[in-house]
Copies of this chain bind each other. A is one copy, B any other.
Amino acid sequence: MFGGKELRHAISMASRWSRASCNLRSNLYRWNKTFIHTSSCHRKCELTSKRYQVKRGKYNEINEENIKFFTELLGPHRIIEGESELEGHNTDWLDTVRGASSVLLKPKTTEEVSAILSYCNHHRLAVCPQGGNTGLVGGSVPVFDEIIISTNLMNKVENVDTWSGVVRCQSGCVLEALDQHVADFGLMVPLDLGAKGSCHIGGNVSTNAGGLRLLRYGSLHGSVLGVEAVLASGEVVDCMTAMKKDNTGYDLKHLFIGSEGTLGLVTKIAIQCPPRPQAVNLAFLGLSTYENVLKTYVAAKSKLGEILSSCEFIDRSSLECVEENLKLKPPISSHEYYMLIETSG
């Protein structure tokens, strides 16, 4: 078990080590990613509808007239059709679920999303909102022939308020790109995930993503100050006031955070970004018992409270499994438990 002094020392040691032997965190990401890719099958996976024996709802099938409407609304280049073109959008990243959508729409504005949803609602056409499609539980993939509404082109950062740190952007902004954008203003997005290079901030909000920074910056219910969403009817719900202490009426935006698109398609977000930390340090610890993991966690929270940004643990068999399969050597070994502790500030 580690106390405050030992922790600070271990962090300083690990930081020196990590600079010398490249970045530990990105190594762990690589382990993780490669491991998942290696272990998943690469043949085309079964249709979700067959695999889980689900029945299609009483929705209409898309026809020429519908396509004509969408073409007039978006132009020909923002409608994608054809099985091979939609292959990546009909399956998830792990290749475990598969839908059979034949049309993907790429709106650029809230008004276009509203027009699409209003039309689909009126004509009883099923839809599936899709962000970066990085989810691991199939939520962003169609099950049958739903029209995929992609937020790929809704990637504008509308405003960065340098006084308050509040950033307003469209929901299709890629997390990493948004973080790089706000870095120019000395800010950081209070969210960090393995999928940050392709996941969308709208998807993060719709799934209430926790990520690596949850411990320090809290959940999105705390940092998301505003949400704009379009209901199935096409009605736009504007909860974008972005005032930290706005207590007027019910705080409806919280219902959209984590509701996975079932209440509406999130089109805009206002998020409170903290100042970008000037230094990040890492410690990788080996421990003998699970109780010591808990004690070290409590010690880290109490002694490093202000600067602790991440705290994770790995057990012996998980580390050995990664080591054996990927031939990557962990910095220390022969312990029952391991902890990765990150500080920033």
Tell me the A residues contacting B by CB distance below 8 Å. 162-163, 165, 186, 207-208, 210, 214, 218-219, 221-223, 244-245, 247, 250-251, 254-255, 257-259, 263, 274-275, 277, 294, 297-298, 301-302, 305-307, 345
Instruction: Contact check, A345 vs B305: say whether CB atoms are below 8 A apart.
Output: yes
Interface of A is mostly: loop
- Known contacts being A251-B257, A254-B251, A307-B306, is A245 close to B219, with CB within 8 Å? yes
**In the bound complex, what is the Cα–Cα distance between A163 and B221 (angstroms)?**
23
Contact partner of A163 (CB less than 8 A), chosen from B214, B245, B251, B298, is: B298
**In the bound complex, what is the Cα–Cα distance between A223 and B222 (angstroms)?**
8
Query: What are the residues of chain B within 8 A of A294 when measuring CB–CB?
Result: 163
Query: What are the residues of chain B within 8 A of A306 when measuring CB–CB?
Result: 306-307, 345
**In the bound complex, what is the Cα–Cα distance between A244 and B216 (angstroms)?**
12
Q: Give 13 new A-B contacts, CB below 8 A, not counting A219-B222, A254-B254, A275-B301.
A: A165-B301, A208-B247, A214-B244, A218-B218, A219-B245, A221-B221, A250-B255, A250-B258, A251-B255, A251-B257, A274-B305, A277-B305, A305-B345
Query: What are the residues of chain B within 8 A of A162 when measuring CB–CB?
Result: 298
Instruction: Contact check, A221 vs B301: say whether CB atoms are below 8 A apart.
Output: no
**In the bound complex, what is the Cα–Cα distance between A247 and B244 (angstroms)?**
23
Query: What are the residues of chain B within 8 A of A219 when measuring CB–CB?
Result: 222, 244-245
Q: Nearest Cβ in chain B — how far from A262, in angstroms?
A: 8
Contact partner of A208 (CB less than 8 A), chosen from B223, B251, B259, is: B251
15 inter-chain pairs at a CB distance below 8 angstroms, sorted by A residue, are A163-B294, A207-B247, A210-B245, A214-B245, A219-B244, A221-B221, A221-B254, A251-B254, A251-B255, A251-B257, A254-B254, A254-B255, A255-B255, A274-B301, A275-B305
Instruction: Contact check, A259 vs B250: say whether CB atoms are below 8 A apart.
Output: yes
Query: What are the residues of chain B within 8 A of A251 when measuring CB–CB?
Result: 208, 221, 254-255, 257-258
**In the bound complex, what is the Cα–Cα distance between A210 and B246 (angstroms)?**
10
Q: Nearest Cβ in chain B — how far from A127, in angstroms?
A: 20
